[in-house]
Structure 1
């Protein structure tokens, strides 16, 4: 279970951020939703960059 979590945590975190952004949009806070909408992509891009830099 731990091995699966360590592999997929960026995707899970990005999905939670996406839900947060959608929730803000549904509550009418559009500026905050637009700001937080960039978080999932950034998280996934950093995860890709970090995994490419690993030597193991």
Structure 2
């Protein structure tokens, strides 16, 4: 599955996964408000990745 993804797609996917893990670590350490804030970055990163993919497919 990862073979079909480009370099930029992989980077953004791993950034989203890393952000999700970091948010969960913050949550379980008791920093709940910070964890919610960081957790909201995940859909933004994935949305940006989809946007870049759409731009690339137009060409």
- Both proteins in one fold, TM over 0.5: yes
TM-score range, shorter chain: 0.7 to 0.9
> Shift of the alpha carbon at 1:39?
0.8
Q: TM-score, normalised by structure 1?
A: 0.82
Question: Which position in structure 2 is the counterpart of 1:35?
Answer: 37
Question: Which position in structure 1 is the counterpart of 2:55?
Answer: 53
In structure 1, distance between residues paired with 2:31 and 2:6:
32
Q: TM-score, normalised by structure 2?
A: 0.78
CA RMSD of aligned residues (A): 1.8
Question: Which position in structure 1 is the counterpart of 2:28?
Answer: 26
Unaligned runs of 5+ in 1: none
Aligned residue pairs, count: 53
